[in-house]
Amino acid sequence: MRKDLQDYINEYNPKLLRHSKACGKNLENLDFKTIGKVKGLSFDHVAILVTKQILNFIKNKDKVLTQKSACEFYVAVTRARHSVALIV
């Protein structure tokens, strides 16, 4: 695991979110929840494992997300009360 991610986890104890159980196989030692499972909940800090679609959207202002991807990303980001970290 990258040091910056470990530092963020140690400092803020965020709720770790991902699109599905298939995402982030290399980070299986972390306690991820799927975005759908936390809909309606809120947490002080959230760290989101971004998909390739979301990463491309962030990097390229001309990239458009599908409605489903946009809705899931919105749900994930709005779970946080204080901070959001993106795991890329």
Per the DSSP assignment, residues forming a β-bridge with 46 are 15, 84
Q: What is the CA radius of gyration of the chain?
A: 13
Report if pTM > 0.85.
yes
Q: Give the model confidence (pLDDT) of 32-71 as tens digits.
A: 999 999 999 999 999 999 999 999 999 998 889 999 999 9
How many domains would you assign to the chain?
1
Give the domain CATH number at 41: 3.40.50.300
Q: Give the model confidence (pLDDT) of 6-21 as tens digits.
A: 999 999 999 999 999 8
Cβ–Cβ < 8 Å for 21, 34: yes
Domain range enclosing 56: 3-87
Cα(64)–Cα(54) distance, rounded to whole angstroms?
Answer: 9
